[in-house]
Structure 1
Amino acid sequence: MPTTTALHPLFAARVAGIDIGQPVSAADAAWLRDALDRWSVLVFAAPSITDDSQVAFSETFGTLETTRAGANGAGGKLIVLTNIGSNGQIAPPTDKQVLNNKANQIWHHDSSFKATPARASLLSAREIPQAGGDTEFASTRAAWQAMDPARRQRVQDRMAVHDFGWSRARVDPALMTAAERDAHPPVRRATVVAENPYGPALYLGAHARSIDGIPEAEGRVLIDGLNDFAGSGDFVYRHHWTAGDLVLWDNRAVMHRATPFASGAERRHMVRTTVECPPTVR
């Protein structure tokens, strides 16, 4: 029987009793889905993980995204997050993947900008630096529960515009091509996700450009303030990676961000699979 050990007072747990390299039974799959709803972030030891075993395990949770054009792994089920170039050497700071890694250091929900957003993400550590390169997770469900009622009222029952081209341009105007921007036009998402049985969660992050019904400048202040509130210490679990870790998280209940490391001197190679939201929870 799988077990969990809490990693934070509010959310995040380490799972034991699941072999990532083996097919998951129906009973264990149901247990995992409930654990994901309950804990939002689940950590597994998977020292022998491969691309194939990660894909197979990820499909326990639903249909996987096809990696977007312009990303490392485009057209497949895996997205590679790395500072290692095709020649096997550390890529220069101007490399597009290195710039994408920089963009990932801002609080965000994966794929909130897509027509079909992400339900869950699974990230495995294949190579890690000696220092830094951790991943932080912020419980937007715990933040929503702790939020002042007057602040809640400002965003409850509203829609936010999530704009990938806009958010990437804030990092570097050349980070996306015109074709990539056209492939991901702005979408509207509810500012609060209410489907989870363990309670609603704030849903904004880096891709949220504006909020319907609020002037854009005022909305920017509100979004930034809410992201900062949710990303404050009380609601944050910081994962220190070990090679072979696999972390699964619920994009509908947490934001996440990478932390810096000496990317010009040390190697970091991570592989992500992303589970689409089913139609009933978009």
Structure 2
Amino acid sequence: MSKVKFDPITPSIGAYVRVDLDDVLDDGVPERILEALSEYNVLVFPEINMSDETYIALNAAMGDVQELYDVAKDEHLGSEQGVYRISLDKDDKTQIEFVKGNDWWHMDGIIYDTPGKSTMLKCESPPSEGGDTGFASLYAAWEALPEERKEQLKKLEVVHCMKAVASRLYDAPTEEDYARWDSIWPDTFRPLVWQQSGGRVSMLIGSTADRITGMSDDEGRAILDELYDWATQDRFTYRHKWKKGDLVMFNNPGLLHRSYPYDKDAGRVMHRLTLEGTEKIRAAA
């Protein structure tokens, strides 16, 4: 009998992982989990209550751990091993912006030529109110587009940057804010349509998308907003309500994700790990 099983959550996205904690590192289990990740795009391990030590070992069994951004490193004991503590109780302004910026749909690691393969989130303390995490399948959203629209989108280039999302946090960002954001993540030019190995197609959109090259701001913004709304329809999404000990991993190149707003007093604490990517960004043919 297999030590791990998967129960689909919705027709388009997600599966619950049924595995005993003592078995997650056994021969063949991490490999099977990684295969299922490509199939279901979001894997939920309900209340598995995994230690950071096992968490790091599981990630390492599936590939290399992606190093944290310098600005994301903190005093958390797991930081040197790639564990990022997501919480609103931080003192650093930039780290608070990183956490709050997650409240809009986005893809991790677009700054890299090869974004992370998978982000893993482990619930240390569930929020008393709010703080759910949403996932939207870009693969499913792309497939549902009309063929004529797909061909139009394949020709476009989009600019991603930190200021596109961080500026949403303030009524009147300062020149110093813009300079700080540009020093962390300046304008990065990407094809809007990402052709992946095996024929899968994703879209590089979301809250970090600032504009489309060669278009007026209004024209480009209209297209980006249209695709943002299209990809995050209910039929393409799964919304996870956290319980203590839950672990969720998601197939980053094929998804947008977001946190739903919550207050600092809600007590929400997550530990995040990222599996280094293997899929380089390239434009669709």
TM-score (norm 1): 0.85
Q: Partners in 2 of 1:51 and 1:176 — Cα distance?
A: 34
1:113–1:207 contact (8 Å) kept in structure 2: no
Which residue does 1:274 correspond to in 2?
Answer: 274
- Unpaired runs of 5+ in structure 1? 87-93
Return the offset for 1:63: 2.0
- The 3 A distance-change label for structure 1 pair 244 and 118 is same
Aligned pairs for 1:1-282 (under 5 A) are: 1=2, 2-17=4-19, 19=21, 22-25=24-27, 27-45=28-46, 47-71=48-72, 73=74, 76=80, 77-85=82-90, 97-172=95-170, 173=173, 178=179, 181-195=182-196, 197=198, 199-261=200-262, 263-278=263-278, 280=280
Which residue does 1:89 correspond to in 2?
Answer: none
- The 3 A distance-change label for structure 1 pair 280 and 254 is closer
- The 3 A distance-change label for structure 1 pair 213 and 227 is same
- The 3 A distance-change label for structure 1 pair 133 and 49 is same
Q: Deviations over 1:42-62 (max 9, x none)?
A: 111354322222221112332
- Is 94-103 or 54-63 further displaced after alignment? 94-103
Q: Deviations over 1:82-111 (max 9, x none)?
A: 12357xxxxxxx965444332111000011
- Unpaired runs of 5+ in structure 2? none
Letter in 2 for 1:278: T
Q: Partners in 1 of 2:278 and 2:118 — Cα distance?
A: 11
Q: Partners in 2 of 1:50 and 1:185 — Cα distance?
A: 36
- Kindly, what percent of the aligned residue pairs are identical? 27
1:13–1:39 contact (8 Å) kept in structure 2: yes
Q: Deviations over 1:65-86 (max 9, x none)?
A: 2221332538630111112357
TM-score (norm 2): 0.84
- The 3 A distance-change label for structure 1 pair 179 and 83 is closer
- The 3 A distance-change label for structure 1 pair 276 and 212 is farther
2:14–2:43 contact (8 Å) kept in structure 1: yes
- Is 243-252 or 44-53 further displaced after alignment? 44-53
Q: Partners in 1 of 2:163 and 2:51 — Cα distance?
A: 32
2:86–2:272 contact (8 Å) kept in structure 1: yes
- The 3 A distance-change label for structure 1 pair 249 and 97 is same
Letter in 2 for 1:156: K
1:115–1:187 contact (8 Å) kept in structure 2: no
Letter in 2 for 1:79: Y
- The 3 A distance-change label for structure 1 pair 169 and 280 is closer
Q: Partners in 2 of 1:122 and 1:4 — Cα distance?
A: 17
1:120–1:248 contact (8 Å) kept in structure 2: yes
- Is 223-232 or 263-272 further displaced after alignment? 263-272
Letter in 2 for 1:135: T
- The 3 A distance-change label for structure 1 pair 232 and 278 is same
Q: Partners in 2 of 1:248 and 1:56 — Cα distance?
A: 14
2:14–2:40 contact (8 Å) kept in structure 1: yes
- Is 171-180 or 47-56 further displaced after alignment? 171-180
Q: Partners in 1 of 2:72 and 2:59 — Cα distance?
A: 19
Q: Partners in 1 of 2:35 and 2:155 — Cα distance?
A: 26
